[in-house]
Amino acid sequence: MSLAGLKCLVTGAGGFLGRTIVCQLLEEGEKLAEVRALDKAFSAETLQHFGDLKSSTLLTIMKGDIRDAAFLREAVQGITIVIHSACVIDTLGLVDKQVLWDINVGGTQQLLEISLLHDVKCFIYTSSLEVTGPNHKGDPMYNGDEYSIYHVTAGFTYAETKREAEKSVLELDGLPLKDGSSFVTCALRSMYIFGEGSPFLLKHVDEGILNHKVFLRISRKEALVNPVYVGNIAWAHIQAAKAMRNPAKVRQIRGQFYYISDDSPHLSYADFNHELGKELGFGVEPKLAMPLTMLYCYALLLEIVSFLLWPFVRYVPVINRQLLTLLNTPFTFSYKKAQRDFGYTPRYSWEEAKQRTGRWIAEVIPSRIAYLKSKEV
């Protein structure tokens, strides 16, 4: 089933994943009637990239806040499919908790309500692996799936907001629409996303440059994870959208969540960074800066200092115990259910994803060196 002739709204379209989803929709062989790209801001580079595609599909740029109901009502007019990837990601506590809840949960719930009022047929939510964990005990998961039993505990505020937003999306599946059909929803739980333009990977590249082209050891070797290439998680959204329009597949996908990974190797976060950059001369530190137990004590000390300083100054530690658990817990998941239910297969092989990411790293190194030097002045 194709998306030909349909109108699709993509939220978070100015971000790392959202802009890739928009590009893939514009590149569809059977053109859509319109793709609406919604975000609070778009970089000049993103807008230039959209323009370079020269697609025959109408692209409408919509700049506005997902908390603005009037703006959302305008955005969903005539839309058939909403792909909701907009959110605020925060693992350090840099963003006020209420802001996280207002955008990640309140914004999602408001978009759902308005979508239902305007007869939107399908709603795909970009969820996160962190909805599942890891939990505060660091219980490992190896090649888990949607049926794996895992003890979920409270974690980052970000993870809590993604869990609540996903619940809101899936609970509304099946609600009646004005034309007699029913609302179809699903959620895609993404692994850590890498690829060209990744702000997290760029941060690690900067740290590596400052460390004489050696990536910092942020995770122990045994803490295996399986990141997903941005082009593949974007492609999963496109394939899910097509399945929602297919009467033979929609019964399987509706109201479901799916883990989306690809065939990237299972490595620790630090070793994965090294795998992406080793051909460019990057190394990786052989071990953690100190034993993991001592790192947890150090993180606890920083959290105590942050708490004591709170009445006078806002100090956000660069590391905390929850982040240490996230980085040092084996946590891998299979994409087999998505493959079975809606035909998800990675669009890019591991080798191609690695090459594309490596080329991007090589391209940005000179500008990052210049930027880092300018900060020293």
* Model pLDDT, residue 2: 86
pLDDT under 50 in the chain at which residues? Answer: none
Would you call 147 a catalytic residue per the annotation?
Answer: no
Strand segments (E) across the chain: 7-11, 34-39, 58-63, 81-84, 122-128, 141-144, 184-190, 193-194, 214-215, 228-229, 256-260, 283-284, 331-333
* Model pLDDT, residue 377: 59
For residue 45, give the 3-state DSSP assignment: helix
Dump the DSSP string for 307-359: HHHTTT-----S--HHHHHHHTS-EEE--HHHHHHH----SS-HHHHHHHHHH
* Model pLDDT, residue 156: 86
The domain locations on the chain are: 7-198+227-268+331-351
212, two tokens? 């004489």
Annotated catalytic residue, options 158, 259, 269, 348: 158
The CATH code of domain 7-198+227-268+331-351 reads 3.40.50.720
For residue 207, give the 3-state DSSP assignment: helix
* Model pLDDT, residue 52: 86
Give the pLDDT confidence of 153-184 residue by residue, as tens digits: 877 899 999 999 999 999 999 999 998 899 99
- Is pTM beyond 0.85 here? yes
